[in-house]
A and B are shown apart, each in its own frame.
Chain A
Amino acid sequence: MMTGAEILVDALKREGVDTVFGYPGGVILSIFDVLFRTPEIRLVLTRHEQAAAHAADGYARATGRTGVCLVTSGPGATNTITGLANAKLDSVPLVLISGQVRTEAIGSDAFQETDMAGLTRPICKHSYLVQRVEDLPQIIRNSFHIARSGRPGPVALDLPVDVAMAVLDSYAYPEKPDLPSYQPPGRGSAGQIRKLASAIRKAERPVVLAGGGIVSAGACDELTRFLEKTNIPVATTLMGLGSVSDRNGLFLGMPGMHGRVSANNALMECDLLIGLGTRFDDRVTGVLDTFAAKAVICHVDIDPSEIGKNLRTQIPIVGDVKSVLKDLLEAVEPRPPDGWNRAVREWAERHPIGYAQDPDGEILPQFVIERVGRWAPDDAVIATDVGQHQMWAALYVRHRRPRAFLSSGGMGTMGFGLPAAMGASLGCPGRTVAVISGDGSIQMNIQELATCTLNRIPVKIIVLNNSCLGMIRQWQELFYNGNFSKICLKERPECRASCTGHRPDCPNAFWPDFVRLAEANGMPGLRASRPAEVDDVLERGFETDGPVLMEFHVRKAENVFPMVPGGKPINHILLGGGIDP
């Protein structure tokens, strides 16, 4: 005899779950009660349910396993919505278990009742409302299978309190999922793969665009072998960073709105574009009708609905990109490097990314990020938040291995970084995990400082404090005539509308005091205000055993370049000093 709650916890163990991120509440208590007696599963109490969802997401991104989040009904459940949508857009395997009011009370607007199955439908890969305890084992089995198979994604499982407390006489965890209508694609069509091999033979200017699908499929080695055999230059999207080492001579970096000139030019000029596990997002393509206009497009994706969604595709291949690359490696002929490789290299050499740090001036955020590479171990996991620092991190962090750069790509969720780093740290004990954040983003889940301290989660928190919402400031400077509307995070009612945000007489030039915030939460806080202090703070920070917050007072008026303005082709690039196609 087992209760629904006991069945759930047993099922989690059988699914290999070792860590659950959650927050208790009325209708989920029976499960917290069972977990109280289950030492095999570590239950981490975050300070907000949104952070629990992001932590489960970060755990999943860093480990490749399925993240699990456990919350109560109503506000507990709705607080995870951003986390679920975030995981959906970046195809992260996650299972949310939310409590629900008693089955007979559903629909009566009971205390803390929300239609979670309905709310999660458009932002999850699938959702369940468990109506009978008899269905629970199979639903859990199905949920984990759906979350991690095919194109991964979040699954929401809503569990009414009476189902969790109901007793089942006999219970056996199902060996197989029962999903006759769900069959994720496997191998790609042999004919289509031959077609691609022949297109590669004929192509003069081929380019590979590798996305997050390469990482999800565990296909990084296959990709590297394919690139080495064919010498095709490769750009990786934000989600694909780390799938190819940035030391690989074929690596062009990230393309798109804040992409490198060489990557963008290569995509615009190529005559064969091979998209692998990528969805041709608008931040990558810019205006669609000019994107890769001269190219034959081949698109490999496990999700058939991605093919042809944004881009006309001549060679569609539906399948698991790992197996497609294996088959392709057999079918394709070696291709020596040629003039195209030289042309692409030249773009890279002519347009390196860079900044000029004045040793006596303000600290530049790019400088801090580049120096993180000096002090963080080689296998460190770096999470980011969203904004300017995120793009600088994409450009200046070393990308040597997959699952080591965790960033909210599709959803662009400020507040993702710190909880995601917590999840990664718990999932990868022994590895250094850092989060690069800004003063805007970090304050969206700042309450998790306490979670880090109390649970001894040794996250190295880097706050690039420019005292404003930098990316918004950049857009207002470039596209809204410098009308800085609500970007200053220290603005008060008495501030003048004419303030450009650069007044030296502004009181509390940097605010809040993150060092004191860190200390109030029981972790050391370090600060650098001058370039000469940057290395010292990073060295001490990365040598600290537990969690630590490093605050850097950085230049406010710094903009992210390269930049392609929205609605422009991606070779229409602002480099900070004009347009250079």
Chain B
Amino acid sequence: MTEERTLMITVANRVAVLARIAGLLSSRGYNIESIIGWRTEDPDVYQIHLVTRGTDEQIEQISKQIQKLIDTIKVVDISHDKNSIIYEFALIKIRAHKNRSEILDLAAVFGAKVVDATRTHVSIDLSGPTQRIDRFLDLMKPFGIKEYIRSGHIAITA
């Protein structure tokens, strides 16, 4: 069964390491749903969290291929790890004329923070599991979403 999978990849912080990982997935026929990378507290180590789709066998194969890269330190598939927290961050800009208070109420229910407001719009910062963000975006749709940005999966293991 094909499903969304989140891989935590630890690599040596070398030139073009993100391009290597992204290139490997595309050259082996995998789509990247999201990818995010940053330098860790150890300046020689870089962390990448990426989301792709595949069956168990496909994810095992792509994990092995990533592991095989000279700069890869560790690959962990945390999709089924109950103790991992998989989060996304989203910034959402919503049209807000008459319904401003309704929007703010709903945001409060979701624990979202208003980070900016103009006469015509409010901008909201929301973090949480993917489904939670999907639901909030659904609720906001009728008001008119001007734009939104999602970080893709980031995760932390227990």
> Which residues of chain A from 122 to 180 have a CB within 8 Å of any chain B CB?
122, 125-126, 129, 131, 146, 179-180
For the complex, what is the distance from the CA of A180 to the CA of B27, rounded to whole Å? 26
Decide: A305 and B68 in contact? CB cutoff 8 A: yes
B20 within 8 A of A: yes
B156 within 8 A of A: no
**9-residue interface stretch from B8-16, B76-84, B86-94, B122-130:** B8-16
Decide: A122 and B61 in contact? CB cutoff 8 A: no
B24 within 8 A of A: yes
Name the B residues within 8 Å of A126 (CB-CB). 70
Name the A residues within 8 Å of B65 (CB-CB). 305
Decide: A181 and B72 in contact? CB cutoff 8 A: yes
Decide: B15 and A131 in contact? CB cutoff 8 A: yes
Binary interface encoding of chain A residues 179-204 relative to chain B, with 1 for a CB under 8 A from any of its CBs, else 0: 11110000000000000000000000
Decide: B12 and A305 in contact? CB cutoff 8 A: no
Binary interface encoding of chain B residues 55-66 relative to chain A, with 1 for a CB under 8 A from any of its CBs, else 0: 001001100110
Decide: A182 and B70 in contact? CB cutoff 8 A: yes
Report A148 CB to chain B, min CB distance, Å.
Answer: 14
Name the A residues within 8 Å of B64 (CB-CB). 304-305
Report B82 CB to chain A, min CB distance, Å.
Answer: 25
Choose from A117, A129, A131, A146 the contact partner of B70 (Cβ within 8 Å): A146
> Which residues of chain A from 286 to 332 have a CB within 8 Å of any chain B CB?
303-305, 308-309
Name the A residues within 8 Å of B23 (CB-CB). 121-122
- Known contacts A122-B24, A125-B70, A305-B64, A180 near B15 by CB under 8 Å: no
CB nearest neighbor in A for B65:
A305
For the complex, what is the distance from the CA of A308 to the CA of B72, rounded to whole Å? 21
Decide: A308 and B71 in contact? CB cutoff 8 A: no
- Known contacts A121-B23, A131-B15, A180-B12, A304 near B68 by CB under 8 Å: yes
Name the A residues within 8 Å of B15 (CB-CB). 117, 129, 131
Name the A residues within 8 Å of B61 (CB-CB). 305, 308-309
Decide: A181 and B19 in contact? CB cutoff 8 A: no
Q: How many chain A residues touch the partner (CB < 8 A)?
A: 18
Decide: A122 and B27 in contact? CB cutoff 8 A: yes
A26 within 8 A of B: no
Decide: A179 and B70 in contact? CB cutoff 8 A: yes
Report A66 CB to chain B, min CB distance, Å.
Answer: 16
B47 within 8 A of A: no
Name the A residues within 8 Å of B52 (CB-CB). none
How many A-B contacts are there with CB distance less than 8 Å?
Answer: 40
CB nearest neighbor in B for A182:
B70
Choose from A122, A129, A180, A308 the contact partner of B57 (Cβ within 8 Å): A308
For the complex, what is the distance from the CA of A304 to the CA of B67, rounded to whole Å? 9
A118 within 8 A of B: yes
> Which residues of chain A from 41 to 78 have a CB within 8 Å of any chain B CB?
none
- Known contacts A181-B12, A308-B61, A309-B61, A118 near B19 by CB under 8 Å: yes
Report A150 CB to chain B, min CB distance, Å.
Answer: 9
For the complex, what is the distance from the CA of A509 to the CA of B122, rounded to whole Å? 81
Name the B residues within 8 Å of A309 (CB-CB). 61
B73 within 8 A of A: yes
Name the A residues within 8 Å of B60 (CB-CB). 308
Report B21 CB to chain A, min CB distance, Å.
Answer: 10
Report B40 CB to chain A, min CB distance, Å.
Answer: 14
For the complex, what is the distance from the CA of A179 to the CA of B12, rounded to whole Å? 9
Decide: A305 and B70 in contact? CB cutoff 8 A: no
For the complex, what is the distance from the CA of A303 to the CA of B65, rounded to whole Å? 9
Name the A residues within 8 Å of B11 (CB-CB). 181
Name the A residues within 8 Å of B57 (CB-CB). 308
Report B28 CB to chain A, min CB distance, Å.
Answer: 9
Report A482 CB to chain B, min CB distance, Å.
Answer: 35
CB nearest neighbor in A for B73:
A181
> Which residues of chain B from 69 to 125 have a CB within 8 Å of any chain A CB?
70-73
Decide: A305 and B67 in contact? CB cutoff 8 A: yes
CB nearest neighbor in B for A303:
B68
For the complex, what is the distance from the CA of A122 to the CA of B67, rounded to whole Å? 15
Name the B residues within 8 Å of A179 (CB-CB). 70
For the complex, what is the distance from the CA of A129 to the CA of B23, rounded to whole Å? 17
CB nearest neighbor in A for B26:
A122
Report B98 CB to chain A, min CB distance, Å.
Answer: 51
Q: Quick one: which of A118, A181, A182 has the most chain B CB within 10 A?
A: A181
CB nearest neighbor in A for B15:
A129
For the complex, what is the distance from the CA of A45 to the CA of B31, rounded to whole Å? 43
- Known contacts A181-B11, A305-B61, A308-B61, A121 near B68 by CB under 8 Å: no
Q: List 18 A-B contacts (CB under 8 A).
A: A117-B16, A121-B19, A121-B23, A129-B16, A179-B70, A180-B12, A180-B73, A181-B11, A181-B70, A181-B71, A181-B73, A182-B70, A304-B67, A305-B61, A305-B64, A308-B57, A308-B60, A309-B61
Those 3 A-B pairs whose CB atoms lie nearest each other, nearest first: A305-B64, A181-B73, A126-B70
- A122-B24, A305-B65, A309-B61 known; 4 new pairs, CB 8 Å cut-off, are A121-B23, A125-B70, A129-B15, A181-B12
